[in-house]
């Protein structure tokens, strides 16, 4: 099921000057921003972007994140952020791999975990809402 091409995306990002420290190396916190750019496009691809989430009555905060830095990205480098949905039943887990677009060398990898929170009651949902399952194609 998760091998469906809709559940993964590759996003190219040209590293701008303002993302870098004085040595021209991407500041470590910006990798999370790159994850976010890919996550937003991935969720839009399945028809459940952030506006859709809010309209469905659920907030989806990130509750866990993991990053592993292998190599640094630098100013004016073209990078590719690959994002893939790897879990969806009790939480939404998305894995990421950032590579150099030209060489394919891995720079960073990690994941984010989001959980559904009912906007009316502020209660954490221990099972993903039906709307996410419908967007993924598990339920109609």
Active site residues: 21
**CA dihedral over 136, 43, 115, 3, signed as positive or negative:** positive
Q: Residue 26's closest CA among 76, 70, 73?
A: 73
- The Cα 131–Cα 74 span in angstroms is 39
Phi, psi (degrees; rounded to nearest 5) at 117? -125, 125
């Amino acid at each position: 099921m998760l091998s469906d091409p809709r559940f993964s995306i590759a996003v190219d990002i040209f590293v701008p000057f303002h993302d870098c420290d004085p040595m021209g190396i991407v500041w470590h916190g910006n990798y999370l921003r790159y994850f976010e750019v890919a996550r937003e496009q991935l969720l839009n691809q399945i028809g459940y972007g952030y506006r859709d989430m809010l309209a469905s009555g659920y907030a989806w905060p990130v509750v866990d994140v993991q990053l592993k830095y292998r190599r640094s990205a630098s100013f004016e480098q073209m990078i590719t952020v690959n994002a893939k949905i790897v879990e969806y039943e009790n939480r939404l887990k998305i894995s990421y791999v950032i590579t150099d677009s030209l060489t394919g060398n891995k720079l960073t990898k990690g994941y984010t975990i989001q959980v559904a929170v009912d906007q009316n009651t502020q209660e954490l949902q221990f099972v993903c809402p039906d709307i996410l399952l419908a967007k993924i194609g598990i339920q109609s």
